[in-house]
Amino acid sequence: MKIFNAAIMLLLLALMAAISTASTDKRTYIVRMDKTKITNTFSSLVSITKPWHQAVLESLADDDELEATPPELLYSYETALFGFAAKLSSKQLESLKNMEGFISAVPDKMLSLHTTRSPFFLGLTGKKGKNGPWSGSNLHSDVIIGVVDSGIWPEHVSFRDHGLSPVPERWRGTCEKGTKFSPSNCNKKLIGARYFYGGYLAAGGKIDETNEYVSTIDASGHGTHTASTAGGNFVEQANLFGVANGSAAGMRYTARIAAYKVCWPGCSTIDILTAMMKAIEDGVDVLTLSLGSTSEAVPYWQDYLAIASYFAFKSGIFVAFSAGNSGPWAYTAVNTAPWIMTVAASTIDRSFPAIIRLGNGETFEGSSFYTGKALKGLPIVYGKTAGVTGAEHCIPGTLNPKLVKGKLVICEPGDEYMTQSERGEQVKLAGGAGVLVMSTVGEDLANEPHVLPDILLGTSTSKAVIKYVSSTKAPIGTIVFKGTTYGNRAPKLAAFSSRGPNLAGPEVIKPDVTAPGVDILAAWPAETSPSTLESDKRRVSFNIMSGTSMSCPHVSGIAALIKSKHKDWSPAAIKSALMTTAYTIDNKRKPISDLKSHALATPFGIGSGHVDPIKASDPGLIYDITADDYISYLCGLKYNESQIALFEEGFIECKEQLAMQPGDLNYPSFAVNFNRKARNVTVTYKRTVTNVGIPKSTYRVSVEAPKGAYVIVRPKVLSFKKLNQKLSYKVSFIGLSRKKPVVNSAFGSLMWVSGNYRVKSPIAVTWK
């Protein structure tokens, strides 16, 4: 499964940064300054030839004449965020902190990169899509999607501009020249291309120009894949090796795309922040970011991607982030600020079945993209029967060709970071005939393109196969490859998808929604192999990947669709529409299940449910939120004035009338936290809804209370007389004591019903 392992990537990049830091005693920081104070302080030094940030950094060098190297400027920020990114020694940092106008300095962090069938599964094509978001009248407006990722392959058919009108006059971006990329590579589809690597290099990263382009051109494939998922053209007969054949299209396939390359392969927070600020200046309507940290939870004021996203929100830009691939464990969701749409990953109804029949007659189903002939009656080797210690994980150098040649080899995941396809490559190099890829967590069958015949097996099946092989003197197996099937039960929450609860903001459920993120077919660079292995000489136009990186651009593209129809809606209104119309029942009329264990998925896994672009375009009611509301929310989180000033320059204090209890944020979901020992405690939240459906309409509430809690709504009926009218209600949650709880959380829902409208919000009650 092509899921980028954030923990290992961070560790490796942190090691490189540590080596660099040890030799120079320097780190890279994002520095915030008070614009008024700093310009007054340096007014006599600042000129046309010497900008303010240069004067500041030169003063630091003057303060410490013993420094071997002066401060090194990477980027400066002068719009929504006033400050700069620079490489500073510890002494220079201390001097800076003593300067009038200094606000904060946050060290840089390294992050990592966290469809033929999707449009049909989402109802955008077929009978459901008639007169829906893909109808002609909704595709005329010029929506611009900014993709912050690993770049883009500009010559791909998904990014041609046939039939598009001229570039919108409001667009302020550009296409930057770089290795094998010139402004002429842009067109009326790909209208912006920038790249940022200062933070990556400052952290000790290296750019190998034999495998990477110092330009917006994508060498990894990740950015091309996500960009085409969000806004790629309609392309007929897209497929990978003949499987998943059909018409590929981005969710908003007539959108304009602006690519911002920040991953080389590591992704510096400084580079991402700078790209986001530039995208705001350029004039994008939607930002999609399929990247993030591990499950490290930090306050929002310490998270510069959350701060940059807030600036985007204030500029009217919808921002979507992937939730992460650290599931199925709790508290692993990242990118959880309430003004961000945080997206989980789930399956669609397409699969690539392969059947393995063991020598004892047992038969199991797995997954494979291989379309060749069956492998019949071959010996199976595993661990010691395949080589030395480490052979069970197919680590390089552990497989013995004499033991492996012509056989099926079992490969288990291990602590070392290797992709499935890298393990398969080791089997091929040792002469193996095929690879059995085992899973140790969940029943995900999110596969990768292998360089030899393969089958991916879920956890329960993996255990059964290993039990047979370990207890049989001469184990054998036959693998039959079935190609592509449709109509499978879906969606199901992917086991790898990161989960809540939300550590940084416990009163907000995260993730917000789930979307297609398993075995997604999308555009691929012409010079990158489908497995990304150097030994793989195959080249394809489309590739299949899995991860919340794939689900995020689905939601970003759908948000662009809604933006087309409702041009005056705020990002919060679009987000509300996506959340309150999401569904929790699958295509077989059963509750959405979790591939962690086939149990029911909860709001901590799928948020409000699976996105439904048809219903989201006409939600009936919306929960809108303003920037002032978010500042009141931050006051409610007990952030101090200097911390909130990072979001709102010039912010003075959290007055009592300004601060809200965090649960009163007008969010389209409810997260309630009780003390486990408290008895019959009542928590009351307020919400306000805006009528965007039928002018004169009456909504009645329907509540499914979480087990162990009572829910009281007042009033129970909301009667609207006109469009855009706002009405408020209060919800009281009464929690019973749970000294010895069976579970720590329980779930329910609150739904306002009027005719065909169902405006639903999940409820998550947690006893701590």
What's CA 210's distance to the chain center, in Å? 29
Helices (H) and strands (E) in the chain, counts: 18, 39
Q: Is 408 helix (H, G, I), strand (E, B) or coil?
A: strand
Residue 115 and residue 121 in contact, taking contact as beta carbons nearer than 8 Å: no
Beta strands 82-89 and 72-78: pairing type? antiparallel
> Rg of the chain over CA atoms, in angstroms?
27
Rounded-to-integer distance, Cα 183 and Cα 203, Å = 29
- Residues forming beta bridges with residue 624, ordered by sequence position: none
List C-alpha distances in Å: 661 to 313, 634, 643, 705, 728: 22, 9, 18, 22, 16
Rounded-to-integer distance, Cα 612 and Cα 591, Å = 16
With vertex at residue 95, the alpha carbon angle to CA 92 and CA 100, rounded to the nearest 5 degrees, is 135
- Is residue 149 part of the annotated active site? The answer reads yes
Residue 157 and residue 235 in contact, taking contact as beta carbons nearer than 8 Å: yes
| Amino acid sitting at position 25 | D
- Is residue 53 part of the annotated active site? The answer reads no
Rounded-to-integer distance, Cα 748 and Cα 603, Å = 9
Rounded-to-integer distance, Cα 104 and Cα 343, Å = 30
Please tell me the number of Cα atoms within 13 Å of 731 on its side-chain side.
Answer: 31
- Which of 34, 108, 142, 149 does the annotation list as catalytic? 149
- Is residue 598 part of the annotated active site? The answer reads no
- Which of 228, 549, 697, 749 does the annotation list as catalytic? 549
Q: Is 52 helix (H, G, I), strand (E, B) or coil?
A: helix
With vertex at residue 744, the alpha carbon angle to CA 739 and CA 750, rounded to the nearest 5 degrees, is 115
Q: What is the dihedral of CA 663, 667, 671, 673, to 10 degrees?
A: -10
- Which of 53, 156, 222, 450 does the annotation list as catalytic? 222
Residue 412 and residue 392 in contact, taking contact as beta carbons nearer than 8 Å: yes
Kindly list the catalytic residues.
149, 222, 549
